[in-house]
Amino acid sequence: MPRRNRNLPNRNLPRRYTRRSRPGSSSSLDLCGYIGLIAFVSVVVTIIITPFLRFLPPKAAGIIVLICLAPAAVVTLVGAVFFYGAIAAVIVWSIITNSPMVLEWTFVVVCTVVFGIRYLIYGVLIVAGLLLWLMYTLFVYRMPPSSYFWIRWTFQARRFGWESAKEWVGSSQALQQSDETYPTGRRSNPVKRMTSQLCEPCFQTVTKSGLLSGSFYFFTPREEWSTWSVRFQGVDLAASNEFCHLCSLLWYSIPLETRRKITGSSLIGINGESGGLRIKIFEAHGPRWYEEHYRYVQPYQEGDGNEYEALCDSLLIERETLRGDIRLSASVEIPSWTGSEVSLDLAKSWITECEKHGGTCKSQRSFDEDSYLPARLLYVGDPMSSALRLDNPLSSPNYKSDPRYLALSHCWGENGIPSSQKLTKDKAKQWGECIPEDDLPLNFKDAIVFTRWIGVHYIWIDSLCIVQDDRDDWERESKKMWMVYAHAYCTISSTGSADANGGCFHERSPLQQFPCHLRYSKRAAISIRAKADAYNANSFTSEVDDGPLSERAWAFQERLLSRRIVHFGAKFLFFECGTQFASEVITQAVKHVPTQDADSMESHIAELVGGKRRDKRAAELVGSQYGPVARFRAALEILREGKFTELSMNQELQLHKCWFELVAKYTAAKLKMESDRMIAILGIAQYIQGEAKGLQHLHGLWQRHLLLDLLWCLKSSPTTRITPRTPSWSWGSVNGEISQRLSPYPFTGKGKRTRLVKVAEAFSRESRGLSGPSAELLFDGPIYLECPILPVCDQELAQDPLRKFGLHLDSRIDKVSASFLPDVKQIGPSSALVCAEILRVEVLEGTLVDRIHSVWSEGIVLRSLVDAHSGSGSMEFERVGRFWAEWPRINGASNCEERIEGCASIFEKKDRMKIRLV
């Protein structure tokens, strides 16, 4: 090595590099060491506190993690920039100065880079720390010494910004002294309560609770006891505690016999004041206590010795997230009767706000809006009058001044409505002058009261506005019934009544049916409920969608076509329109909340209506969390807007799915008269058709996707034919729930998809579609099919758990098995049965290149009505079921004409025939 030139000044390079180049120079901790140490300590601290962060609110835990990791992130970034910047500076300095010590400084740079391996050591230490933390969590954290501590203590940070609703001192007197005038004498003095309001002792208990309000200390006891100061009047609460929501929930959760023992014991003072009653607020300690924090409140009574006896089951304390777009009041005034002034005024405000801002609901009316009026309406006068008569709106001056009317949707009941309470020919003239209101069913009385209360003068009720003993009048008006509901100002839905005498208005216990928000903020609340059926996010589904009225097929059409509806449930009051929802808790109407499939549905809508997005209305209607009706409304609008004569296969499939979404819901409901099966859905079909030319509705199927619609199947057990007037190829010919099974296809798995190919042609000859409101539904037009056909060899009548029969088809390959879902009980002999292929389904797999995984044939099973050798031009068949079969795989030669990647076709081109379906 050449000798070093000592005359070269050392100031040409930074001093730290000259010192580091000296062998044997030492430094306890240089810059890299400090950086690594700070990063290591920061990560270790984060690891240690991580198990405790789960007890904190998510935002607080995130802030603490950021604070702990910030030093590590900052020093690592600064160290990396300084480290690599110094290396670059050394190299650039050596090149610029043309220093003869380039080799020596290059060696120094290499040593410095190698010296950076210390970061690898730090990484190993961090991984070791993670492993130690994992062992600490799995073993030490749950070992007896630690678990003994955690059984008694937990974490709960202070909830800043949370509050409780304290009962107003004069609230009970104000509510009791209310002199409001109620619209009907059925309930002269309904009780009103304010939810979530607490008496002074309960307010102090909640605010001082570490489990509910949080604690400033690091640990909080898992059990908290407090005195329950409550007064009684008999077995009920005294007036001083009657308005406390928490006292009411706890007291009436105790069984009646236990309440009698408590009020009859020596612990009750002269003034009815309790003694020895305690409230326990606790957090359960289960096997996964560190992840699941279930907290409860439970009333206790002093027993023998120092022990306390539980009076009832514990009530779960739930944390509820309040969406920002739902304007939920902490304390809501709830009357004990849904027909009170408060309830009726609330319903009136919903209707008024929807009329002002609901552009979608204003445009809900169908075609020819101004030319339609109901033939008869009930004139009800105003709240101060008792006028009630049958009126003709065309000649009534009152209707011309205010052309609004309400419509009633209700259940007749198993026994129907007596003839004295229905419009008949002999009462038409008398009812034109005056109708005795006292003789009407309770549903009608309540609907009339509500109509008067909101300032509307007319209402339409089916049994009072259609002559029930006149067949011509009934057929004429029943076909226009959909227009009555589509044009009504609002629909009154008696959702909670199973018959006409159930009434629209119902009594309830306000504080028992609604949740009590013990603590609440702007975004969340801590609540308890006394009953499983108390108001919650699923109350709309349980009260409305699963109510008695929803079991009626006619009600499905009435609800779907109405612009806005007020639902009078058995316990709650709801409002629903095309875009919004409201309730007695969510008093300000909010939009339906879209689900995760909303974006995909919106894209389907955009494709179906012409490739562009209209607005976000349809997406907002999909899958409301308050009930499935929003999905049905979206499907209805898709069908109405997708008016095209030429559709792609995907568009046909989407329209087919939307239509059978409605059909499945409709056929699952009940009809009193089986002959009304196709009439009760006529209004929906007419609404979809609108003024579109060439859009034909054929007995529950649509001409534009007729082949797909023919593949309906019966979800329930096979039955007999309903009426000979309905053709066998229509689902209206059988009784039971109808479904479609095209999508999602049951044979696809992960990584597989389907391709549909139509192999048949269908057309109707001399058939008439619907052409306006007065179109006939039951027409005499057969359907002609040109498709491959194979005879059936035999049947396997033994049913499997999925109610599928088996068929053997006589193909050129061999006898091929096919699954079979019959429509009727009497199928007939195998010699009279044939299978008609309508659709071919190719199941594909592969990512870059599509490969055929399997091929299936879909079609219908037919029974011959005309002998094939009779010389007729086309054979006549009737449908008896639905089939599907998989193509067999054949590797060698066969006498099959058609084959797709080893799958031999069951149906071949030479089997194609032209048949007539009746």
User: Read out DSSP for 329-361?
Assistant: -SS-EEESBTTSHHHHHHHHHHHHHHHHH-HHH
CA pair distance 808, 883, nearest whole angstrom: 11
Residue 8 counted as domain residue:
no
CA pair distance 652, 704, nearest whole angstrom: 8
How many domains does the chain fold into? 3
Residue 151 counted as domain residue:
no
Whether 822 and 894 map to the same domain: the answer is: yes
Quickly state the pLDDT bin for 345 (edges 50, 70, 90): very high
Give, for 839, the enclosing helix (H) or strand (E): strand 833-845
Q: Phi/psi class of residue 613: alpha, beta or left (left: φ > 0; alpha: ψ in -120 to 50)?
A: beta
Residue 566 counted as domain residue:
yes
Q: What is the pLDDT of residue 575?
A: 92
Q: Is the pLDDT of residue 856 over 70?
A: yes
Whether 443 and 547 map to the same domain: the answer is: yes
Of the two residues 523 and 556, the one the predictor is more confident about is 556
The residue out of 74, 105, 136 marking a domain boundary is 136
Q: Is the pLDDT of residue 692 over 70?
A: no
Instruction: Report the Cα 796 to chain-centroid distance in Å.
Output: 40
Residue 506 counted as domain residue:
yes
Residue 694 counted as domain residue:
yes
The residue out of 79, 105, 136 marking a domain boundary is 136
Average pLDDT, the chain: 75
The residue out of 592, 610, 642 marking a domain boundary is 592
Q: Is the pLDDT of residue 904 over 80?
A: no
> Residue 66: which domain range?
33-136
pLDDT tens readout for residues 16-38: 444 444 433 334 345 566 666 77
Q: Is the pLDDT of residue 566 over 80?
A: yes
Q: Phi/psi class of residue 48: alpha, beta or left (left: φ > 0; alpha: ψ in -120 to 50)?
A: alpha
Residue 536 counted as domain residue:
yes
Contacts of 202 (CB under 8 A, 6+ apart): 244, 246, 247
Whether 794 and 654 map to the same domain: the answer is: yes
Whether 506 and 376 map to the same domain: the answer is: yes
Helix/strand number for the chain, H first, E second: 29, 39
pLDDT tens readout for residues 301-341: 887 767 888 999 999 998 887 654 444 566 778 888 899 99
Q: What is the pLDDT of residue 463?
A: 92
Q: Token pair 């109901």 is at which residue?
A: 374
Q: What is the pLDDT of residue 873?
A: 46
User: Is the CB of residue 403 less than 8 Å from the CB of residue 463?
Assistant: no
Q: What is the pLDDT of residue 136?
A: 64
Give, for 113, the enclosing helix (H) or strand (E): helix 102-115
Q: Is the pLDDT of residue 629 over 80?
A: no
Average pLDDT over residues 836-841: 90
Give, for 473, the enclosing helix (H) or strand (E): helix 471-478
- Output the CA angle 670-673-676, nearest 5 degrees: 90
Q: Is the pLDDT of residue 273 over 90?
A: no
Whether 833 and 905 map to the same domain: the answer is: yes
Whether 587 and 658 map to the same domain: the answer is: no
Q: Is the pLDDT of residue 186 over 80?
A: no
| Percent of residues, the chain, with pLDDT higher than 70 | 67
Q: What is the pLDDT of residue 672?
A: 78
Q: Phi/psi class of residue 30: alpha, beta or left (left: φ > 0; alpha: ψ in -120 to 50)?
A: beta
Mean pLDDT check: name the lowest of 146-160, 167-181, 516-530, 859-873: 167-181
Mean pLDDT check: name the lowest of 254-263, 305-314, 644-653, 756-765: 644-653
Q: What is the pLDDT of residue 265?
A: 66
Whether 475 and 576 map to the same domain: the answer is: yes
Quickly state the pLDDT bin for 10 (edges 50, 70, 90): very low
Q: What is the pLDDT of residue 729?
A: 92
CA pair distance 505, 494, nearest whole angstrom: 8
CA pair distance 818, 67, nearest whole angstrom: 66
Whether 633 and 490 map to the same domain: the answer is: no
Q: What is the largest CA-CA distance in the chain?
A: 133
Q: What is the pLDDT of residue 513?
A: 83
Residue 376 counted as domain residue:
yes
Whether 800 and 707 map to the same domain: the answer is: yes
| Percent of residues, the chain, with pLDDT higher than 90 | 18
Whether 761 and 892 map to the same domain: the answer is: yes
Q: Is the pLDDT of residue 848 over 50?
A: yes
Which residue type is seen at 696?
Q
Which residue type is seen at 480?
K
Mean pLDDT check: name the lowest of 345-349, 458-462, 554-558, 576-580: 576-580
Q: What is the pLDDT of residue 252?
A: 86
Residue 332 counted as domain residue:
no
Average pLDDT over residues 76-100: 68
Q: What is the pLDDT of residue 842?
A: 85
Whether 747 and 831 map to the same domain: the answer is: yes
Whether 647 and 754 map to the same domain: the answer is: yes
Q: What is the pLDDT of residue 406?
A: 95
CA distances from 623 to 364, 597, 599, 656 (A): 20, 8, 11, 19
* Mean pLDDT comparison of 311-315, 533-537, 591-595, 902-906, highest-scoring range: 311-315
Taking each helix axis as running N to C, give the angle between helix 598-608 and helix 649-667, from 0 to 180 degrees, rounded to the nearest 10: 120
